[in-house]
Amino acid sequence: MSLVKTLYEKDLYPEIEDAGHSDFARDCVEIASERLARGQIDRRTFMTALAALGALPAGLTVASRSAGAAAGELVVVNWGGPAVDAYAKAFGVPFEKATGVKVVIDGTGPLGSKIKAMVDAKAVTWDVCDTGTGTTLVLQKQGVLEKIDYSIVDKAKMQDIFAYEYGVPNYMFSFILAYNKTKVPSAPTGWKDFWDLAKFPGNRTMRKQPNGMLEACMMAAGRDPKSVYPIDIDLAVGKLKEIKDNVIAWGSGSQSQELFRTGEVVMGNIWHTRANLLSQETNGDVTWTWQDGIVTAGMWNVPKGNPAGAETAMKFIASSQDPDQQLVLFNAMGNGPANPAAAAMVPADKKHIDPGQPENLAVQVLQNGPWYEEDSGVRNLTNDELSREKWLDTLSS
């Protein structure tokens, strides 16, 4: 897949993917695939959604392999598996019905490196990509994305702070404090407790990347949740240093779950979707608090020079802001709706796993993308780039 991984092991062992890092978007697919395999959700969930939305137009194509765009077609790229069907039904069908533009869902995975390679080679075959805030920031600095046209996309249908210049939120998720009830003396109530090794002995897990971790560090350092930004990177990595010996870092979502399963950690800063799975499989032994959670978003990106044209892509994104469509995705995959209007429509028994519920939002921090984009003043790096470097440096020191 990439030229570097072919070094030695990759040739022998294709599963190498599992050892790497993953974005939240890809992780949702992994989770849904597992649930589908275990029979926890079935294809009828999709069919019910279908019935509500009207029949599947005959022309709608679902492609699991890389698709090339034809005229009057829009290629939406996500992470494959059940997400192909889920996206087709949540977003593809309604858009096609409204505009007549055929939506092809391509599940090959919109890796940032692939998007850059496509745009650099002027051979763009993708129109809309499902990435994250981190990838959006990296890609926009590389100048390979179309600017979001907020005259078409509605800023009112999202949390203000997630309206990036080059990305639009298509769902929300949170970094939260998860813990194993049976291994801590009392329930930790925030990041200060996370740092309290005397009161809560044992290992913790944090992510290999700083995104979502720096905020926790700042709160642990005593910064009020309302004024986490601007982040003092040195202060934040200094906090990591304090507990580093007790930190095991996770790369992919499944790794964060495994660390709890094997009993290697007693608490962790992980994605709420993984915490929810852990809670289910341990009958509530592992649980989490929304308190001081960090809400972030999955992002729609449009590669520069996309085949269907920027305007069509923007129209698709605008169409996907519809709360009904976002709810279909939430029910199928667990991705929290990005449109605040969808919060009230979430079924009562699922409100506790939706980061966007007003009561959950009230105790959390919304991640501030613009801060990550700002110049750090060091070697021409953005805060995002500098913090990635310092975070890794501290972890590996």
Bond preceding residue 230 cis, omega within 30 of 0: yes
Stretch that binds another protein, among 30-38, 110-118, 171-179, 296-304 (CB under 8 A): 110-118
In whole angstroms, the minimum distance from the beta carbon of 386 to another protein comes to: 11
112 binds another protein per the rule CB under 8 A: yes
Name which of residues 211 to 250 contact another protein (CB under 8 A). 244, 247-250
In whole angstroms, the minimum distance from the beta carbon of 210 to another protein comes to: 11
304 binds another protein per the rule CB under 8 A: no
In whole angstroms, the minimum distance from the beta carbon of 261 to another protein comes to: 11
Q: Do 301 and 110 form a contact (C-beta atoms < 8 A)? A: yes
Stretch that binds another protein, among 66-74, 138-146, 321-329, 339-347 (CB under 8 A): 138-146
In whole angstroms, the minimum distance from the beta carbon of 143 to another protein comes to: 11
Report the residue from 180, 209, 276, 383 that binds another protein according to the rule CB under 8 A. 209
Name which of residues 250 to 269 contact another protein (CB under 8 A). 250-251, 262-264
Report the residue from 4, 58, 121, 362 that binds another protein according to the rule CB under 8 A. 4
In whole angstroms, the minimum distance from the beta carbon of 272 to another protein comes to: 21
16 binds another protein per the rule CB under 8 A: yes
Secondary structure string (H, E, C) spanning the chain: CCCHHHCCHHHHCHHHHHHCCCCHHHHHHHHHHHHHHHCCCCHHHHHHHHHHHCCCCCCCEEECCCCCCCCCEEEEECCCCHHHHHHHHHHHHHHHHHHCCEEEEECCCCCHHHHHHHHHCCCCCCCEEEEEHHHHHHHHHHCCECCCCCCCCCHHHCCHHHCCCCCEEEEEEEEEEEEEHHHCCCCCCCHHHHCCCCCCCCCEEEECCCCCCHHHHHHHCCCCHHHCCCCCHHHHHHHHHHHHHHEEEECCHHHHHHHHHCCCCCEEEEEHHHHHHHHHHCCCCEEEEEEEEEEEEEEEECECCCCCCHHHHHHHHHHCCCHHHHHHHHHHHCCEECCHHHHHHCCHHHHHHCCCCHHHHHCCEECCHHHHHCECCCCCCEHHHHHHHHHHHHHCC
What mask of x and - would describe binding to another protein in positions 165 to 204, judged by CB under 8 A? --------------------------------------x-
Q: Which is nearer to another protein, 50 or 145 (CB)?
A: 145
108 binds another protein per the rule CB under 8 A: no
In whole angstroms, the minimum distance from the beta carbon of 23 to another protein comes to: 9
Quickly count: other Cβ atoms within 10 Å of residue 365's Cβ: 23
In whole angstroms, the minimum distance from the beta carbon of 127 to another protein comes to: 20
In whole angstroms, the minimum distance from the beta carbon of 298 to another protein comes to: 17
In whole angstroms, the minimum distance from the beta carbon of 4 to another protein comes to: 4
What mask of x and - would describe binding to another protein in positions 21 to 40, judged by CB under 8 A? x-------------------
Amino acid in position 97: K
Phi and psi at 353, nearest 5°, equal -110, 15
Report the residue from 61, 99, 108, 113 that binds another protein according to the rule CB under 8 A. 113
Stretch that binds another protein, among 3-11, 275-283, 331-339, 360-368 (CB under 8 A): 3-11
Furthest-apart CA pair in the chain: how many Å? Answer: 63
**Sites of contact with another protein (CB under 8 A):** 2-5, 7-10, 12-13, 15-16, 18-21, 111-113, 116, 134, 138-139, 142, 203, 208-209, 244, 247-251, 262-264, 385, 388-389, 392-393, 395-397
